[in-house]
């Protein structure tokens, strides 16, 4: 996030999911909030949508002028 500000989000979870995340967070010595943040960041990275990662290259062959193709 820009400026170090964090967004607040109301999140409704199935009680069983909340319990599983709470146990996982306790095992990792994290808060539930920090655990959810870590899970979301991993999911974003796995999907190629990591906000800190460089933008993916365009499709196809790179341009002759050295551009990224898109």
E-assigned strands of 1-70?
none
Residue 2 lies in a domain: no
Read off the tokens for 32. 């539930």
Instruction: For residue range 4-58, list pLDDT tens digits in order.
Output: 788 999 999 999 999 999 999 999 999 999 999 999 999 999 999 988 866 666 6
Residue with structure tokens 């341009």?
63
C-alpha–C-alpha distance, residues 23 and 19, integer Å: 6
Q: In the prediction, which pLDDT does 28 show?
A: 94
What lies within 8 Å, CB to CB, of 22 at 6+ separation is 32
Read off the tokens for 1. 């996030």
Predicted structure pTM score = 0.67
Residue 31 lies in a domain: yes
CB 57 within 8 A of CB 69: yes
Q: Residue 35 belongs to what domain range?
A: 12-46
């Amino acid at each position: 996030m820009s400026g170090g500000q964090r967004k607040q989000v109301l999140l409704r979870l199935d009680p069983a999911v909340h319990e599983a995340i709470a146990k996982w967070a306790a095992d990792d010595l994290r808060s539930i909030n920090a655990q959810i943040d870590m899970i979301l960041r991993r999911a974003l990275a796995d999907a190629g949508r990591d906000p800190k990662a460089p933008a993916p290259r365009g499709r196809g062959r790179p341009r002759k002028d050295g551009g990224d193709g898109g």
